Amino acid sequence: MGVALAKAAAVKLAALGWVVACVYLLAAPYAWLAAGVGLAAMVWWLVRAVAHPRSQFFLPVAWRGKGNTGAIALTFDDGPDPEVTPKILALLKAYDAKATFFVLGSRAAEHPALVQHIIAEGHEIGTHTMSHRVRFHVGRAAYIHREIVEAVRVVGEIIGKTPLLFRPPQGLRSPLVADGLRALPQLQCISWTARGRDSLRTTSEAIMRRLRGSLAPGAILVLHDGCGLGGGADRAPTLEALRELLEACRAKALRCETVGSLTGLAPYASDALRAARDPALDRLCFPWRDTLPWPVYALYRTLRALLVLSSFAFFWLGAVLCAWLALPMVWLWPGTRAQKLGRCQRVIRRCFSLFHGYMRVCRLVDVVPLGPLPPPAEPTRGRILVANHTTLIDMTAIIATYPNVICVAKSSYANSALVGRVLRLAGFVAAGTDLHGHHDMLAQCAERLRLGFDVLIFPEGTRSPPGGLQPFHRGAFEIACKNAVEVVHLHMTASPPALSKGLPFWRHPDRVCRLAIRPATVVEPEQFQGNSRAMARAAEAQFREYLALPSVSIVGSRSELR
C-alpha cells in the first residue's frame, strides 16, 4: 500500500472508530446523528483532499508562485490544437507574455512541430497525461503510472529534454494518482490559484469573472487550448478572455511568466539529471560501497553525513555571529560607503575561507582555483562574473577565492532572518524584491560596479544537475550591456559531483570533492552590439563546450538539447 492509500485508509478508520464510539457511548437518536456527522465529515475531507487545488494531503502541489515578483503564470491545458494554439501563441507574443502549456501526450505525438513551436516562442511545456480519460481517476495503479510515464516520454522525445511539470486531469489527485506520481519523484504536480472553466460551454465575460478576483502577483491561472474530457470544442470565448486578461495584466503592471519562473521549480531535466540515479555515477561517487564490509561502510556513510551537517552548522553559526557582532562594528567604523562595503566584504571573504578550510580538513570539498581573475580594462570599475551553478557552495567558494566580489543572491536569502543581515551589510543584492518590497536589482548592481566591485551572477538561477547545465537567463548580460562592463566566465566543475541538484548532503561522495574554478573568457558587450540575448546564448554555448555537454540549437529565447 502506498503512502496516499495509507492516508486514505487512516481517515476511513478514524471515521469508523468515531461511528463505533457514538453507537456505544450515546443514546439513540443522538448516536446516529453524531455518526452521520462523522461520516459526512470523512466524505468532505476526502473530497477536499482529492479535488481542492490547494490541498497537500495526498500529494505536494504548487498552486501559486512567489507573491513578491510582480508576475503571474498563465497555463493552458489539453492541447496542442492546430487551430487554437497558434492563435494563443500569437496573442501571447503580441503582449510579450510567457505561459506554460500542459499538453496531452497523444496530441503532442500528432502535432510535434506545434510543440516545438511553443518551445521556440520561449514558453514551457508540461504534461497532462497521455489520453485524458475517465479511467485515469478510477483505473488501476499500473494504468495511471503508464499514462503519466508515456506522456513524459513522448513529450521528452519531441523537445529533447524531460518535462518535470505535471497537471492531472481536472486537477484531481486521488490516492492512486498520488502514489503513481510518487513513483516518479522528479515530477512536480502543478495546481492553480483560479481557473476560467473555459473547457465547458461559457462566455468570455464568465471566464473573466472567475479569473479577475485572483489577478494578483503569484497567481497561477488555468485556461484551455484543447478539448478535454467532456468539454466543448469552441475556444472563441477563451481567446476573447485571454486578450482581456492580458490587457488587465498590463494595466496592473503584472508580467506573465512561466510556472517554472514563478515558482522556482525546474521545468525540465537534462540527461545529466537522470544520470544522478545511474549506476555509473553511483560508482563514481561511492567507490567503497562494494569494497568495504557493509557494517564498516554504513558507519563511514553516517560519519560523512554528520561531517557535512557539522560544516553547515559551522556556516550558520558563523553567519549569525558575523551578522550581529562583527559586521555592525565594521560598518560603524568611519569611512565612505565604498570603504565600508570593502571592509565588510573582506570580513565575509575570511569567514567563507574558514568555512572552506573546515570542509577541506574534513576531506569533504577542496576548492581549487585554476588561475587568477584577468585584470580589468578599467581598474576603477567592476565586472560581471558569470558562473555555472554546479554545487550548493559555489558562491562561497568564489568569494573566498577572489577579492572584491559581491553576489546577486536569492531574495529569500537576502531577506532571511539568519543571513539576510550579513548579505545586506556586505553589499549583496537581492535577485527579487528587497526587504522593503523594492525591486531595484539593476540599480544596486550598477552602484556596486561603479564602486569597483565585481558582481557575481549565476545565470542558471538554480543549481545544475550533476554534470549538466540549466538554460541561461539573460539578466547578467543585460546588466553588463546597460553598464558597459566586461563579462568574465568562471567555469565550475565538481569531481565527483557533490551538493548538486539531485545529490543531497547525505549522498555526499565517499572521496573528497574537487571543486575547480577556472576563469575563462572575457566578453565585451560591444562584441554583441549590446544584445544581451545574444550574449546569453553565446555564453551558454561556450559553457557547454567547456563542460563537454551536448551541443545546443538556439531557437527563440530558449536552448534545446540535441
* CA pair distance 67, 144, nearest whole angstrom: 33
* CA pair distance 44, 58, nearest whole angstrom: 14
Comparing C-alpha atoms, which of 32, 37, 38 is closest to residue 18? 38
C-alpha separations of 271 from 157, 265, 274 in Å:
12, 17, 5
Beta partners for 256? 72
Comparing C-alpha atoms, which of 263, 246, 240, 243 is closest to residue 167? 263
DSSP code for 64:
B
Q: What is the DSSP string of 445-489?
A: HHHHHHTT-EEEE-TTSSPPPTT--PPPPSHHHHHHHHHT--EEE
- 382, 449 Cβ separation under 8 angstroms: yes
Q: Cell digits for 344?
A: 565588510
Phi and psi (nearest 5°) for 553? -105, 120
Query: 247: which residues sit within 8 A by CB, 6+ positions away?
Result: none
- Specify whether 282 is catalytic: no
* CA pair distance 419, 318, nearest whole angstrom: 10
* CA pair distance 299, 397, nearest whole angstrom: 29
* Residue whose cell numbers read 544520470: 275
- Specify whether 77 is catalytic: yes
- Report residue 56 CA to chain centroid gap: 19
* CA pair distance 167, 104, nearest whole angstrom: 10
* CA pair distance 59, 51, nearest whole angstrom: 12
* CA pair distance 535, 528, nearest whole angstrom: 6
Comparing C-alpha atoms, which of 528, 525, 497, 491 is closest to residue 511? 497
- 11, 45 Cβ separation under 8 angstroms: yes
Q: Catalytic residue among 123, 132, 224, 489, which?
A: 224
* CA pair distance 549, 271, nearest whole angstrom: 10
Q: Catalytic residue among 77, 81, 434, 454, which?
A: 77
- 217, 254 Cβ separation under 8 angstroms: yes
Residues catalogued as catalytic: 77, 224
